[in-house]
Amino acid sequence: MKTLVCTQPGQFEYISEEKPQLEKGHAIIKIKRIGICGTDLHAFEGTQPFFEYPRILGHELAGELIEFDGAPGFSVGEAVTFVPYFNCGHCIACRLGKPNCCSNIKVCGVHCNGGMREYLSVPSYSLVHGEGLSFDELALVEPLAIGAHGIRRAEVKEGEFVLVVGAGPIGLGTMEFARIAGAKVIAIDVNDNRLQFSKDKLKVEYVINALASDVLEQLSAITNGDMPTVVMDATGNLKAINNAFRYMSHGGRYVLIGLQKGDICFSHPEFHKREATLMSSRNAIRADFEHVIDAMKKMKVDPTTYITHRVVFENVKDEFEQWLHPANGVIKAMVEIA
């Protein structure tokens, strides 16, 4: 089978591998769609934390289930996706019901080889039913679940102002599930095209360019002087993360979905006087996947809105680098495998 390997930063190579054989407790998926995410782009750039080369990228996946062991209720030929965060099941996080931050976690395409290949073997416990959704939709469940999990972590309540910093795919998904939770959503980004996308496609009412000189004043005006009660970072950019501490209301919550390699820095007195809450949001849990699929089926979310670029698997090596450049307007690139 054909496989695409990121051999080192900035370099892909196609290789030929044997199709995986069925193992106990595993399932084999014939990959049909691969969504390209920020993790893939950062890995190609050489800026992804917790990463080693060579690596087969890809964890936003959908395909056809062709073989399985230990997956009751599933059927050969069924369209599926899967939860790509393989957990140990016995560490403290797993015992607390938080397999998304398992101390021994293996994220598909990050800590272990991913799905940029024709067939992939995954643990049977990770399978997720397709529920009649298309391969395009199923490949977008995982990135949307990241945002849904962040909203779950923040315990967003109806009517409160939620500020999402970063209007990339993860930020856009976070905006969608903040809206579904009943929040009033504000988007901040440095890219006016992405802010316009937020308004036009996601119906986000309030957008602010982060480079404006009066960001604080705009936020104050929008929130009637209160400032947002929830701030969500979806940039993974150190400057953006540090700046956004200033945007939070008294009593507010700040959730870091984005990830970067450095140390965050903020004013303790300013944070303390707000009695603020700072938390991270890592990956997602099965309940988030189910929430996303339910939202898709009820047409609360149209995931195909995000797909701006398509490419066949054979052309990924040649086209991948251009997706790094903001001028190309990529929201989500979708790879198709015949």
Question: What six digits make up the tokens of 211?
Answer: 């480079």
In a domain, 88, yes or no: yes
CA–CA distance, 239 with 92 (Å, rounded to integer): 33
Strand partners, 333: 309
Answer yes or no: do 153 and 276 share one domain: yes
Contact 164, 232 (CB under 8 A): yes
CA–CA distance, 306 with 169 (Å, rounded to integer): 7
pLDDT tens, N- to C-terminus, the chain (338 residues): 999 999 999 999 999 999 999 999 999 999 999 999 988 998 999 888 778 999 999 999 999 999 999 999 999 999 999 999 999 999 999 999 999 999 999 999 999 999 999 999 999 999 999 999 999 999 999 999 999 999 999 999 999 999 999 999 999 999 999 999 999 999 999 999 999 999 999 999 999 999 999 999 999 999 999 999 999 999 999 999 999 999 999 999 999 999 888 899 999 999 999 999 999 999 999 999 999 999 999 999 998 899 999 999 999 999 999 999 888 889 999 999 98
The domain in which residue 61 lies consists of 2-139+302-336
Q: How many CB atoms lie within 10 A of CB 103?
A: 11
Each residue of 270-327: pLDDT tens digit? 999 999 999 999 999 999 999 999 999 999 999 889 999 999 999 999 999 999 988 8
What CATH number corresponds to the domain at position 246? 3.40.50.720
DSSP 77-101: T-EEEE--EE--SSSHHHHTT-GGG
In a domain, 122, yes or no: yes
Of the candidates 271, 334, 337, 287, the one whose C-alpha atom is nearest the C-alpha of residue 40 is: 334
What CATH number corresponds to the domain at position 30? 3.90.180.10
DSSP 195-218: HHHHHHHH--SEEEETTSTTHHHH
